[in-house]
A and B are shown apart, each in its own frame.
Chain A
Amino acid sequence: AQTVTQSQPEMSVQEAETVTLSCTYDTSESDYYLFWYKQPPSRQMILVIRQEAYKQQNATENRFSVNFQKAAKSFSLKISDSQLGDAAMYFCAYRSFIQGAQKLVFGQGTRLTINP
């Protein structure tokens, strides 16, 4: 079974600085999807960024980018120019490419604090 590990329960960063959140996963599959979701205090799960394993290029969404290292099974999230609104729990998630296995497997989350 696939597993996702986020080794940093908490992180903090100064406003306007850059922070990187770590995620590693374990799978025997060659094709899959990886996601970062953000959960602010409202509890809503919001998609931040998505990466398809067959794509070599790292995904980027405005201030958010990933460093996808397939061989190392690593998928870190970099937030540039941190803003107060970025404060939230961040979850890394894995989804199989196998038909009928669309469920998301989540890491335990990293709580990100932004210091003004």
Chain B
Amino acid sequence: DAGVIQSPRHEVTEMGQEVTLRCKPISGHDYLFWYRQTMMRGLELLIYFNNNVPIDDSGMPEDRFSAKMPNASFSTLKIQPSEPRDSAVYFCASTKGWETQYFGPGTRLLVL
């Protein structure tokens, strides 16, 4: 089975631009998570969905961040407008019920 797929793997953009990160969870999984990893804050949860419905978005930093899951096989995390402090590695993970979360390869974002 294919694992969690994320695109793009690397993104370099300029401050003020819109950034869209994409995730395809493992087929059959009903939970999808977005995490952010930085040196200062480590790994932190941004938002997660259950059956395409957002359950906990308390980790979303501010209104510039938004996430959607239009169907069971696709999710996006959007940053508009982007700022240099958004530079990080963004991970998507999925799981089925209480099973282990499996992570995608991550998207390394650099905002200049």
State the A residues within 8 Å of B (CB): 33, 35, 37, 42-47, 50, 91, 95, 97, 100-104, 106-109
Contact = CB atoms under 8 A, between A and B. Distances in A.
Given A102-B95, A104-B101, A43 B89 contact: yes
A50 B101 CA distance: 11
B55 A100 contact: yes
The number of chain B residues touching the other chain, given as a range, is: 20 to 34
A33 B103 CA distance: 17
A7 to B, nearest CB: 14
The listed residue with most B CB atoms (<10 A of its CB), out of A45, A46, A50, is A45
B91 A45 contact: yes
Interface of B: 31, 33, 35, 42-45, 48, 50, 55-56, 89, 91, 93, 95, 98, 100-103, 105-106, 108
A41 B78 CA distance: 26
Contact of A104 (B45, B105, B106, B108): B45
B80 to A, nearest CB: 24
Contacts of A100: 50, 55-56
Contacts of A44: 103, 105-106
B33 A103 contact: yes
